[in-house]
Structure 1
Amino acid sequence: MRILVTGGSGELGREIRRVARHEVVACYNSVPVEGGVRVDVRRRDEVEAAVREVRPDAIIHTAYLQSDWVTTADGAANVAIAARGIRLVHVSSDALFSGKDSPYDEEAVPDPITPYGAAKAAAETAVRAVDPSAVIARTSLIVGGGRIERLVRALVEGGPGALYTDNIRCPIHVTDLANALLELLESGHTGIAHVGGADAVSRHELGQLIAVHEGLAPTKLPAGSNPSDIRLDSTKTQHLLKTHLRGVREFLTPSA
């Protein structure tokens, strides 16, 4: 099987490439990937050209840009249109929920309160309209790819910012997420799947766990407030998977 992965230079795209047992061709935009194809997902002609060139058996769409509606929403529509007839897994986000009715299972209706959440909700609508057989995999904060870890290290060293004590999410390890997406790709599942970790923690608690895991001082992490409880109920999806969707308290153990 040949898999085309958009956002192939990102932390999730890199991990999919690392763990996949199949041939993976990465699409990238600004950060080159060896053997990859440069594609701006905002341009439908470029996406369609890449699909014609690579001739994939399946596509995993991970590309987004939090601050750009066109990349996140229109880009997803462009990929879905280009992927017609090809197995598609679209990676979505818990950001499309407001946090007013937690926990959220696959039947929950998006009610975004941020521009990024609205873009992700629009992306889902486009993908479902173009390809009802696609998998829409909603996930949460991704740990293990480096981005959150870099933030924690910077905050411990006195950098600007804070981690919220009342913003609850279900973080997932990047390896678990990559394996789960590949399993869903190979399965007969269609529609929405929730792929979050087993533990619901605040952003501040997550930062503390990362700090302890890396041998840093968790007490140096500044705390802030931004109330939001967005817990993904991933029970249904976990029953479909061999991959164990670990909680952060399981994979963020103290360093030796």
Structure 2
Amino acid sequence: MAALAADAGHEVVGTRVTKAVPDTRVRDRLLDVRDRYAVQRLLEEEAPDVVVHTAYRQDSWAVTAVGAANVALAAAAAGARLVHVSSDVVFSGAAVTYTEDAEPDPVSPYGAAKAAAEVAVEAVAPDAVVARTSLVMGRPDAPMERRVADLLAGRATGVLFDDDVRCPVHVDDLAAALLELAFSDATGVRHVAGPDAVSRFEIGELIAHRDGADPSVLQRGSRREAGVPGPLDVRLDGTWTQSTLRTRLRGAREFLAQPFS
């Protein structure tokens, strides 16, 4: 998203913990979102118009939940508009399909942290956008893309779950939608995910066909039977959000049929 914002002529500041921001147009700053006062100081120094918060760690409540609260507090104090990126893991999958007004019911520690982050953002910055998304794909370094590539090449072993269903979004579509939301008058929860509900196994098959690989190499498995914590079938219904956006959010079956751009 930083590159897209720079392309649009915005002055962009990126934050990091270790790895430098690769785009030379983006001025990067070291920041630990767990440090409330460091977050406050940085926003006071930079005085941004918009803050897009994407930081998380699946194994860290402090980064995911406390960090989001720290960013929301600092953004509110600085008078900056906030776009907070959340996730479909705030849902259990019991209802399968979830619209923007559905109440979170997480079943994993990471899901609980993301749900807590949403509560903090909505309490501290009621005019913020909470943008829930799903599997982010469309680049070779995306986690799901890497996993499938390793399986197809024999660099890894294991299964892809056929009962773990999500609504993947292309990284470029997500970035464009977040930028659009950042400079709109939208508030509240938005579902920024693709329209196709696909299992991880089906994603693997789509990637194999795209890349000219043999999909029969991929092994099918069940998340339920494996006992891996987390939701199973979670489908973000973003029909309403899509109707408010100029950005078209493509489905996985569409964008995984095309080579990397």
TM-score computed with the length of structure 1 as normaliser: 0.91
Q: Which residue of 1 aligns with 2:145?
A: 149
Which string of whole-angstrom CA distances, capped at 9 and with x for unpartnered residues, describes residues 44-98 of structure 1? Answer: 1111111122111100001101111110000000000000021000000000100
Shift of 1:245: 0.6
Q: Which residue of 2 aligns with 1:12?
A: none
Task: Give 5+ residue unaligned stretches, structure 1.
Answer: 1-15
Which string of whole-angstrom CA distances, capped at 9 and with x for unpartnered residues, describes residues 148-181 of structure 1? Answer: 2111111112313321101111000000000000
Candidates 242, 251, 254, aligned match of 1:250: 254
Shift of 1:23: 1.9
Is 1:47 aligned to residue 39 of structure 2? Answer: yes
How has the CA–CA distance of structure 1 residues 111 and 57 changed in structure 2, closer, same or farther, with 3 Å as cutoff?
Answer: same
Q: Which residue of 1 aligns with 2:19?
A: 31
Alignment-mate amino acid for residue 156 of structure 1 = L
- For 1:254 and 1:134, the matched residues in 2 are separated by 34
Is 1:196 aligned to residue 181 of structure 2? Answer: no
Look up the SS of the partner of 2:132 in the other structure. Answer: strand
The within-5 A match list for 1:28-107 is 28-33=16-21, 35-84=27-76, 85-107=79-101
Alignment-mate amino acid for residue 250 of structure 1 = E
Which string of whole-angstrom CA distances, capped at 9 and with x for unpartnered residues, describes residues 199-243 of structure 1? Answer: 010011011112221222222112210251100000010011011
Look up the SS of the partner of 1:53 in the other structure. Answer: helix
- For 1:64 and 1:91, the matched residues in 2 are separated by 9
The within-5 A match list for 1:118-197 is 118-145=112-139, 146-147=141-142, 148-158=144-154, 159-197=156-194
Shift of 1:255: 5.0
- The answer to whether the Cα contact below 8 Å between 2:58 and 2:64 also exists between their aligned partners in 1 is yes
Q: How many residues are aligned here?
A: 241
- For 1:178 and 1:255, the matched residues in 2 are separated by 19
- For 1:87 and 1:254, the matched residues in 2 are separated by 35
- The answer to whether the Cα contact below 8 Å between 2:138 and 2:256 also exists between their aligned partners in 1 is no
Look up the SS of the partner of 1:36 in the other structure. Answer: strand
Alignment-mate amino acid for residue 58 of structure 2 = Q
Alignment-mate amino acid for residue 240 of structure 2 = K
- The answer to whether the Cα contact below 8 Å between 2:161 and 2:221 also exists between their aligned partners in 1 is yes
Look up the SS of the partner of 1:244 in the other structure. Answer: coil
- For 1:215 and 1:53, the matched residues in 2 are separated by 50
- The answer to whether the Cα contact below 8 Å between 1:214 and 1:254 also exists between their aligned partners in 2 is no
- For 2:242 and 2:178, the matched residues in 1 are separated by 12
- The answer to whether the Cα contact below 8 Å between 1:77 and 1:123 also exists between their aligned partners in 2 is yes
Task: Give 5+ residue unaligned stretches, structure 2.
Answer: 225-231
Look up the SS of the partner of 2:73 in the other structure. Answer: helix
Shift of 1:24: 1.4
Look up the SS of the partner of 2:148 in the other structure. Answer: helix
Look up the SS of the partner of 2:236 in the other structure. Answer: coil
Give me the identity figure in percent.
Answer: 54
Look up the SS of the partner of 1:83 in the other structure. Answer: helix
The within-5 A match list for 1:233-244 is 233-244=237-248
Answer with 188-197 or 144-153: which moved more.
144-153
Which runs of 4 or more aligned residues in structure 1 lie more than 2 Å from their structure 2 counterparts after TM superposition? none
- For 1:247 and 1:32, the matched residues in 2 are separated by 31
